Amino acid sequence: MNAAAGPEWVVREDAGLPVLVALYLRQVLGLRFPEELPMLRGVPAAEAGEFERSPALERQWRAFWEMTVEPQAHPSPVPLDLVDGYDMLIALPTEGFDELRGAIAGHGPEAVAVARRAHERYRAGLGTGSSYRAYASAIAQHERNVGRRAHSFELNVQVLPLTQRGVWWIGSLTVAVTDGLRGDVAAFDSAIAPVIADLA
């Protein structure tokens, strides 16, 4: 794009399989980070006290979550190794992730199945090319409100089947949006407006 064309923005929307798998694991292992993000619908939560969560497991989980949500911003300092049972959806660093690797062993088939079902629902309902119009409308409204063109920005949106309706920042350029909210045009415009205002 040439300079005369002005600022540009990029919004990538998905119900990413790795993110869905990670949230499934977060729930069944009883992990809390990110604390403000609600649970996935239809996935059993770990019983209180069912797992002994070591500081090492919590630390490894946080690093894994960051690498999953924004892999380019959080590259692994060591090579990655695929985890058996996860259909190439999870790769952990070859060093320093033994506790997490042990904790997620055996959860792969169900985690992948749940993620694939959620992803297929997203593709069937929302992932049909209408996303550009939704964001363009919010950006145009922001431009009218501030009286100038939007700055160039990137935004990643993960549309997830969460138990509460809303929008949450889950990375520096990434938000999670409840699928029900994403499907409600008027409510989504209002909910995404503060996110656009932060970036644009």
CB distance 167 to 195 below 8 Å? yes
Instruction: Tell me the one-letter amino acid at 7.
Output: P
What size, in residues, is the chain?
A: 200
Estimate the share of the chain in helix, then strand, then coil, as percent rounded to the nearest 5: 45, 15, 40
Rounded to the nearest angstrom, the gap between the alpha carbon of residue 56 and the centroid of all alpha carbons in its chain is: 23
How is residue 148 written in tokens?
Answer: 């100038």
CB distance 124 to 179 below 8 Å? no
List of residues 6+ apart from 36 with CB closer than 8 A: 168
Residue showing tokens 């939007």 = 150
Residue showing tokens 């939704």 = 134
List of residues 6+ apart from 54 with CB closer than 8 A: 99
**Does pLDDT of 3 surpass 50?**
no
Q: Over the range 75-95, which residues count as b (16 or more CB within 10 Å of their CB) and which as e?
A: ebeeeeeebebbbebbbbbee
pLDDT range class, residue 138, cuts 50, 70, 90: confident
How is residue 67 written in tokens?
Answer: 């690498």
CB distance 157 to 11 below 8 Å? yes
Rounded to the nearest angstrom, the gap between the alpha carbon of residue 114 and the centroid of all alpha carbons in its chain is: 15
Instruction: Tell me the one-letter amino acid at 143.
Output: E
Summarised one tens digit per residue, pLDDT across range 182-196 is: 988 889 989 999 999
**Separation CA 91–CA 64 (nearest Å):** 9
Summarised one tens digit per residue, pLDDT across range 67-122 is: 999 999 999 999 999 999 999 999 999 999 999 999 999 999 999 999 999 999 99
